[in-house]
Amino acid sequence: MRIGITCYPTYGGSGAIATELGISLAERGHEVHFVSYAQPFRLGHFRERVFFHEVEMEQYPLFEHAPYSLALAVEQHRVAERVGLDLMHVHYAIPHATSAWIAQQMLAEEGGNLPVVTTLHGTDITLLGLHPSFHRITRFSIEHSDGITAVSDFLADETARDFGVDRGRIQVVPNFIDPEIYHPGKEPCHRAALAPDGEKILMHVSNFRPVKRVEDVVRIYARVRGRLPARLVFVGDGPERPRALQVAEELGVADGVLFLGKHASVDELLSCADLFLLPSESESFGLAALEAMACGAPVVATRVGGLPEVVVEDEVGHLLGVGDVDGMAEAAIRILSDPQLHRRMSAAGHAHAVAAFAKERVVPRYEAVYQSVLAGVGAA
């Protein structure tokens, strides 16, 4: 098949998964065309059958904000027409599903056909899409998609409830990992650099949005450090980073906190982690937690959204209530101070990530969605 993929190219789970999906589809013989405003961050070097088409944006004094959605629709249409795309797969509904619908309509006027598959990832449904300025157009764009997928049962249910979309139309296809990349014991190991005195390493990877509650990460760390030698490693960046540093300073633990900034590949870092913290307010899936599990790090997180579908309670880590900093710290201390429990959770997390979420299991499910959409469009 010739598949178009639109995603956010910047750091974030939806862009990461969309890119890994495109790479994997190309390895399976498909031709993949990414359409976005910049090259997706995990795309890296040249790969056979993978193409990137940059959306051209005309700056004009009248525009305070240039209309990206329209320029994207034009590029999606242009690529579809020029290379003969079989379908367009967009990740994150806003505004990608709307642009793809416009591209589809333009092509239809010329006698062409561009089925659209929309994958819902998280805040496009649970936060941004609920805002009055986006709700109606998000609902319209989802309903007019030829195929709809969501990354967890939780997200599919939320979409049906909050947007009135027929639940039967939404297929759940979970996020996935490449077990050859995400596994314990990666080399080079950065353990000595991150924790030179053999301290335990607590890690958090995110875009530092308020929804991630990075302040709680610091508070959990402060409690853990009161009981055992530990360091906290932050990977990623975003608006709440200064607040995280401020809290670390207030609590007198800033000397044990490392901010590593954004990294395109986090596998080498995750495999150094003794524990992964994700105390989010809301999380439709928690790709970072899955990647940590695959690398052998037990997870302490919140029991919200789709996280219980990923983090098997008591087996691969612990889930607690939002804001239950004491509970999460106690769970972390229990795991870190019991080598046998740590080994068991680490092995179980890795095994579960591979058994349930390896790309070899998940990518064919996207291919099946494409096939059914093409069969449906053909029959219409």
Per CB under 6 A, 122 contacts ligand GMT: yes
Contacts with ligand GMT in 79-118 (CB under 6 A)?
92
C-alpha to C-alpha distance for 4 and 34, rounded to whole angstroms:
6
- For residue 364, cis peptide bond before it (omega within 30 degrees of 0): no
- Smallest gap from residue 187 Cβ to ligand GMT (A): 27
Per CB under 6 A, 284 contacts ligand GMT: yes
C-alpha to C-alpha distance for 340 and 9, rounded to whole angstroms:
40
C-alpha to C-alpha distance for 311 and 301, rounded to whole angstroms:
8
- Smallest gap from residue 109 Cβ to ligand GMT (A): 32
- Smallest gap from residue 211 Cβ to ligand GMT (A): 5
Residue in 320, 319, 316, 317 with CA at minimum distance from that of residue 355: 316
Q: Which residue, 99 or 123, has its beta carbon nearer to ligand GMT?
A: 123
Per CB under 6 A, 36 contacts ligand GMT: no
Among 80, 107, 151, 201, binds ligand GMT (CB under 6 A): 151
- Smallest gap from residue 164 Cβ to ligand GMT (A): 20
Q: Which residue, 15 or 256, has its beta carbon nearer to ligand GMT?
A: 15
- Smallest gap from residue 124 Cβ to ligand GMT (A): 6
- Smallest gap from residue 269 Cβ to ligand GMT (A): 18
Per CB under 6 A, 276 contacts ligand GMT: no
- Smallest gap from residue 304 Cβ to ligand GMT (A): 9
Phi, psi dihedrals of residue 359, rounded to the nearest 5°: -60, -30
Per CB under 6 A, 282 contacts ligand GMT: yes
Binding range to ligand GMT, per CB under 6 A, among 63-71, 182-190, 277-285, 358-366: 277-285
Sheet holding 275-278, edge to edge: 257-259, 230-235, 200-205, 275-278, 299-302, 317-320
- Smallest gap from residue 341 Cβ to ligand GMT (A): 26
Among 80, 116, 205, 211, binds ligand GMT (CB under 6 A): 211
C-alpha to C-alpha distance for 92 and 66, rounded to whole angstroms:
20
Q: Which residue, 154 or 221, has its beta carbon nearer to ligand GMT?
A: 154
- The tokens for 172 are 């759940």
Helix axes of 135-143 and 153-163: crossing angle, nearest 10 degrees:
110
Per CB under 6 A, 285 contacts ligand GMT: yes
- Smallest gap from residue 339 Cβ to ligand GMT (A): 30
- The tokens for 229 are 């030698």
Residue nearest ligand GMT, CB atom distance:
122
Q: Which residue, 80 or 214, has its beta carbon nearer to ligand GMT?
A: 214
Residue 122: exposed, middle, or buried by beta-carbon count in 10 A (0-12, 13-18, 19+)?
buried
Per CB under 6 A, 17 contacts ligand GMT: yes
Contacts with ligand GMT in 126-145 (CB under 6 A)?
126
Binding range to ligand GMT, per CB under 6 A, among 7-15, 41-49, 228-236, 263-271: 7-15
Q: Provide the binding-site residues for ligand GMT, judged by CB under 6 A.
A: 8, 12-14, 17, 92, 121-123, 126, 151, 175, 209, 211, 282-287
